[in-house]
Amino acid sequence: MLREVDLIACEDTRRTRALLSHFDIHTPTVSYFEHNKLARGPQLLRRLTEGASVALVTDAGTPGISDPGFLLVRDARAAGIDVVPVPGPSAVVTALSGAGVPADRFVFDGFLPVKPGKRLNRLKALRELETTIVLYESPHRIVAALEAIAEVFGETEIVVARELTKQFEEIVTAAPAAHLERLRANAPRGEFVVVIPRA
């Protein structure tokens, strides 16, 4: 498919180009990410309305899931352009399948708010749902997130997954205090998924 489209919109053209080169794919690429989505989106939409085919890819995971790609998909669909999703990796489902927690019902809430007060309020609201909760977190905020989770959920064992499907994948089940001790000892790297099991 990536050989057949006219253009590939991607988060980081350098990363995507390395992958494409590995498979001897020479389709042109253009960046489309959080900080250029408002300017680049209309350009890509114009190409689509002119009849070009555009593939949307991300550095990791699935386009549109906690990702600005949903804007391009929304605008393309509103313009009557066919959108063909191609199932791929999803950190949410991957974490749940490896966590060993009830996943018949769950809430995915993306990234927690940056501000401490809003973060605590969001977690308190999620606690009321009485379902398994899945969150994303960056390496820069994972410690603050775990501190807030400990405050709201106490010492409930949670699952912290890192670098899913990659070389340094980790899936660890422990109380928040144990996770904090481990992550404070070694500077956290990679993207994190936190799974808080249903009470």
C-alpha dist (Å) from residue 6 to 44, 94, 124: 11, 31, 46
Both 65 and 95 in a single domain? no
The pTM score is: 0.82
pLDDT per residue as tens, the chain (199 positions): 899 999 999 988 998 999 999 999 999 999 998 899 889 999 999 999 999 999 999 887 788 888 888 899 999 999 999 999 987 778 999 999 999 999 999 999 999 999 999 999 999 999 999 999 999 999 999 999 999 999 999 999 999 999 998 888 999 999 999 999 999 998 888 899 999 998 6
The range of the structural domain enclosing residue 44 comes to: 7-78
Distance (Å, rounded) from C-alpha 140 to C-alpha 144? Answer: 9
Please identify, among 25, 46, 78, the residue that sits at the C-terminal boundary of a domain: 78
Domain annotation covers residue 119: yes
Please tell me the total count of domains within the chain: 2
**Whether residues 70 and 113 fall in one domain:** no
Q: CATH number for the domain including 13?
A: 3.40.1010.10
129 and 179 co-located in one domain: yes
List Cα–Cα distances, 172 to 78, 128, 138, 179, in angstroms.
42, 25, 16, 8
Structure tokens at 17: 């180009």
Q: What is the CATH number for 126?
A: 3.30.950.10
